Structure 1
Amino acid sequence: MAEKRDAERTRARLLDVAISEFAQHGYDGARVTRVVRAANVTARMLYHYFGDKEGLYVAVLDSVYAQIRDMSRPLIEALDALIARGVAEGAFLREHVDPLQLYVSIVAMSAHHINNLHTLSAVFGADLAAAEWIEARRAHTVAMVLRYVGAEPSDPLKR
């Protein structure tokens, strides 16, 4: 049993070091030699657990995505509870709102203009970084989300 725990610890240590290595250097810049040195194991151990650099990278991605899912789960659960409460209290008229779909929509409405700030500003001749524009975008997003769940917002666009 101790051997199994040691194997699990060794694999976990390799994975932790590899996460940092790929994050700092990207796939092409990451070096297996640095990973094994920092994890204090042999290259043979790395290849035993992960096969090759690509296998290690896939394991890193799987691990990081699992961490992100775990961190996001409480948010989705809270959103689900908020939706249920809104429906139960009659504040939201739309039933069966998928909290994950709603979350993804909120993120899209909140982040797209930031991720494409310079391009959208140039294309539309507007300063999307201006405080007034950001506030108008926030109000627009809130109004759209409230209307989606079936709430009638006091018109936040006229604040």
Structure 2
Amino acid sequence: MTAQPAAPERRRDPDGTRSEILEVAQQEFARHGYAGARVDEIAARMRTTKRMIYYYFGSKERLYVAVLEKAYAEVREMERAVQVEHLAPVEAIRTLAELAFDHHDLLRDFIKLVTIENVHQAEHIRTSQALTNLGTPVLDLIEAILEAGTASGDFVACLTQGADAIDVHMLISSFCFFRVANQHTFGALFGRDMSAPEHRARLRAMVGDMVVAYVRGSGA
């Protein structure tokens, strides 16, 4: 009896195939945006067919939403790994901000995807139940740090200005996003390479100082 040929690797490993599609699709969407990305190009890079990609994800929009879900899940995993509870409030919030800077440096595609989704007014994120239920672990951590800093008298702004975890998270994210998202335009306009190693340490410290100054308030 003639032995049957082995099934193609993609058929034997559907989870692996799905992960590979998401990885390539993330790069394409981050590079070209939702409108500019082409499923044909994703298929060509994987040496497969557009039909197979639709078999796994159904449509370009559903593929894009799955990419967003993957990107946000990776960020949340990084947030869960942050350990600053053992530090005093001022050092904890500074360290948290600096670690966020490191994470944003590693997740360049994530920043591009968030920027793209902002252009679309978050219409795709709103369709994802996974994203709306994903939560934000870092908000709980920031809230605990702010409560400790308020109790110790270190964080004046939390009392006088009503600063909360969302405010602080937005402050950190906006600085980190701006630095990564605008590095090319800044380079063209001002002749400074924002990604150069000689600038990185200074900018990392700057975000820590900025957040500490905010939560301590003008009376500190």
Fold shared per TM-score above 0.5: yes
Aligned partners of 1:112, 1:56: CA distance in 2, in Å? 24
1:1-159 pair list within 5 angstroms: 6-73=13-80, 74=82, 75=96, 76=138, 79-80=142-143, 82-87=145-150, 89-92=152-155, 98-107=164-173, 110=175, 142-147=212-217, 152-153=219-220
| Partner residue in 2 for 1:123 | none
Call closer, same or farther: CA 1:19–1:42 in 2, change over 3 Å.
same
Deviation digits for residues 49-89 of structure 1, max 9, x if unmatched?
Answer: 11111221121122222223333443436645543543454
Equivalent position SS for 2:13: helix
Aligned partners of 1:83, 1:140: CA distance in 2, in Å? 15
Aligned partners of 2:63, 2:214: CA distance in 1, in Å? 42
Shift of 1:43: 2.3
Deviation digits for residues 14-67 of structure 1, max 9, x if unmatched?
Answer: 110111111222223322122122223332221111111122112112222222
Aligned partners of 2:79, 2:24: CA distance in 1, in Å? 23
Call closer, same or farther: CA 1:64–1:32 in 2, change over 3 Å.
same
Shift of 1:104: 1.6
Aligned partners of 2:153, 2:78: CA distance in 1, in Å? 30
Call closer, same or farther: CA 1:61–1:113 in 2, change over 3 Å.
closer
TM-score, normalised to structure 2, is: 0.43
Call closer, same or farther: CA 1:139–1:67 in 2, change over 3 Å.
closer
Call closer, same or farther: CA 1:139–1:32 in 2, change over 3 Å.
closer
TM-score, normalised to structure 1, is: 0.56
Identity %: 39
Shift of 1:146: 0.9
Higher relative contact order (CA 8 A, sep 6+): 2
Aligned partners of 1:55, 1:89: CA distance in 2, in Å? 48
